[in-house]
Amino acid sequence: MNKEILFMSNGHGEDLNASLILQELSKIDANIKITGMPLVGEGSAYRSLNLPLIGQPKSLPSGGIFYMNILTLLKDVSAGLIGLTLYQIRTLLKYCSQYHLIVAVGDIFPVTMAYITNRPFVAFLVSTSSYYEGKLNLPWLTRWCLRSPRCLAIFTRDSFTAEDLQQQGFKQANFSGYPIMDILTPTGKDLHLNDNIPTIALLPGSRLPEALNNVELLLKVCESLASLEKVQFRVALVKAIQEKDLENLAKNLGWQYQSTGILIKKQEKNIIRVECYYQAFSDIINHCDLALGMAGTAVEQVVGLGKPVIQLPGKGPQFTYPFAEAQMRLLGISVKTIGNSYKNPHIFVEAAKTIQTILQDKDYLENCRKNGQERVGKPGGSLNIAQAIANLL
């Protein structure tokens, strides 16, 4: 008899992790029927696989990061958050009886949704880690759901969290790897790099209009750094940022949009050249010496590769100072956040000086390589988790 599985997730990074696991699961057993239910956003990771979906994928102002700011939560509510959630619950209860297993990827929301189906489920706690506070303090509702005999396994994003949960009595908790590290093989795209010059990756994030606001802040760091150190800049862009956006941004900031993806600014003693690429994320972060990051999952991937990251607090809604500060606790010494507000004009020079110091600190760079292995882990998580799910079936 064919088995049916429902994958639920609540956010861009969560959707990505879920999609990587289910692809490996399909390879293990082609007879498993898989359905997706993105609880936050449009579910592009699922859609790219032409996976059947249930629910009503919809983007809200916060992108699922409303816990950082009560005003953002209110915007989500006014945009239909409550009605959307009620619809998702009704839809889930309508279809859940057909699934042999539910895989909840994210935090309290998908875990609770999986619990109310009264079906067997597994949880992948992508959105939380014991590294944040030294000990994982799960919300009581999450703990209640995870203690259910129907919760067959708890996967964590790092080994430290798995050990912590086991000590708290969740014996089914384990770390099998972090799937996002499985998609970082370079494609061979020519980035026109000079091997004798340090490469700085610029990672502005994936959500608009926030990502464009982040590009603006990152370019200001480029201006300061170019006057201190000879480096080359490469920007990893998502498709949502179009050439017209880059042209307008360059015009507003006093830069020139020279040709496809190339931004130029003339300084007194040199010319700053920033090259932007689409579908080259893996190539850029594998070849970079350091990343200027204003993103979530992307920063984790850079750290996992053993590279240092400099963060700037942005306007949000996602990448604000509280988010950046939490990411430092999660990822350890590899990540440094400069200042606590984008409104402070001094953070750009400070960021540039910090980058200059890091590039010359061989001991720190070696510690970043070790830290990445500890905090994020090696590739192989997608297959390991998929195999564990197949075994449960």
- Asked whether residue 188 is domain-assigned, the answer is no
Q: Please, what is the average pLDDT of the chain? A: 91
Q: Give 240's pLDDT tier (boundaries 50, 70, 90).
A: confident
Q: Using the Cα atoms of residue 232, residue 235, residue 236 and residue 239 in order, give the sign of their dihedral.
A: negative
Between 67 and 149, whose confidence is greater?
Answer: 149
Residue with tokens 């939380």: 128
For the segment 268-316, what is each residue's pLDDT rounded down to a tens digit? 778 999 999 999 999 999 999 999 999 999 999 999 999 999 999 999 8
Domain residue limits at 349 = 199-375
Please compute the mean of the pLDDT values over residues 380-385 and round it to a whole number: 98
Q: State the DSSP string of 206-232.
A: SSTTHHHHHHHHHHHHHHHHHTT---E
For the segment 15-30, what is each residue's pLDDT rounded down to a tens digit? 999 999 999 999 999 9
Q: Give the pLDDT score at 66.
A: 47
**Both 354 and 385 in a single domain?**
no
DSSP state of 131: T
Contacts (Cβ under 8 Å, ≥6 apart) of 335: 299, 303, 308, 309, 311, 327, 328
Q: How far apart are CA 302 and CA 358, in angstroms?
A: 15
Q: Give 388's pLDDT tier (boundaries 50, 70, 90).
A: very high
**Both 218 and 148 in a single domain?**
no
Half-sphere exposure of residue 9: CA atoms within 13 angstroms, side-chain side:
27
Are 88 and 39 in contact, with CB atoms under 8 Å apart?
yes
Please compute the mean of the pLDDT values over residues 66-86 and round it to a whole number: 61
**Both 65 and 89 in a single domain?**
yes
Q: Give 347's pLDDT tier (boundaries 50, 70, 90).
A: very high
Write the CATH number for 312.
3.40.50.2000
What are the residues facing 173 on neighbouring strands?
154
- Asked whether residue 136 is domain-assigned, the answer is yes
Please compute the mean of the pLDDT values over residues 359-381 and round it to a whole number: 95
Neighbours of 174 (CB within 10 A): 18
Q: How far apart are CA 390 and CA 256, in angstroms?
A: 53
Q: Give the pLDDT score at 56.
A: 73
**Both 381 and 366 in a single domain?**
no
Q: How far apart are CA 110 and CA 113, in angstroms?
A: 5
- Asked whether residue 190 is domain-assigned, the answer is no
Q: Where are the beta strands (DSSP E) in the chain?
A: 4-9, 33-38, 101-105, 121-125, 151-156, 173-174, 199-203, 232-237, 256-259, 262-266, 271-278, 290-293, 309-311, 335-337
Are 45 and 52 in contact, with CB atoms under 8 Å apart?
no
Both structure tokens of 330: 């999660």
pLDDT of 361 > 90? The answer is yes
Domain count, the chain: 2
Half-sphere exposure of residue 132: CA atoms within 13 angstroms, side-chain side:
14
Both structure tokens of 100: 């042999």
Between 177 and 73, whose confidence is greater?
Answer: 177
**Both 258 and 351 in a single domain?**
yes
- Asked whether residue 132 is domain-assigned, the answer is yes
**Both 382 and 356 in a single domain?**
no
Q: Give 86's pLDDT tier (boundaries 50, 70, 90).
A: confident
Report CA dihedral (312, 318, 322, 326) to the nearest 10 degrees: -90
**Both 384 and 346 in a single domain?**
no
Both structure tokens of 139: 């919300």
Neighbours of 227 (CB within 10 A): 14
Contacts (Cβ under 8 Å, ≥6 apart) of 90: none
- Asked whether residue 187 is domain-assigned, the answer is no
**Both 157 and 272 in a single domain?**
no
Q: Does the N-terminal peptide bond of residue 313 adopt cis geometry, omega within 30 degrees of 0?
A: no
pLDDT of 139 > 80? The answer is yes
- Asked whether residue 146 is domain-assigned, the answer is yes
The H-or-E segment that residue 198 falls in is: none
**Both 217 and 284 in a single domain?**
yes
Q: Give the pLDDT score at 138.
A: 94
For the segment 194-228, what is each residue's pLDDT rounded down to a tens digit? 999 999 999 999 888 899 999 999 999 999 999 99
What are the residues facing 291 on neighbouring strands?
201, 309
**Both 64 and 136 in a single domain?**
yes
Give CA separation, 126 vs 15, 110, 180, 374, in Å. Answer: 10, 11, 10, 16
Q: Give the pLDDT score at 186.
A: 94
- Asked whether residue 184 is domain-assigned, the answer is no
Question: What is the per-residue burial (b if ≥16 Cβ within 10 Å, else e) of 252-267?
Answer: eeebebeeebebebee
Please compute the mean of the pLDDT values over residues 306-331 and round it to a whole number: 95
Q: Give the pLDDT score at 46.
A: 93
Q: How many residues are listed for the chain in this entry? A: 393
**Both 265 and 159 in a single domain?**
no
Work out the burial of residue 360: count CB atoms within 10 Å of its CB; fewer than 13 is exposed, 13-18 middle, 19 or more buried.
Answer: exposed
pLDDT of 47 > 60? The answer is yes
End-to-end Cα, the chain, rounded Å: 11
Neighbours of 183 (CB within 10 A): 14
**Both 151 and 174 in a single domain?**
yes
For the segment 103-124, what is each residue's pLDDT rounded down to a tens digit? 999 999 999 999 999 999 999 9
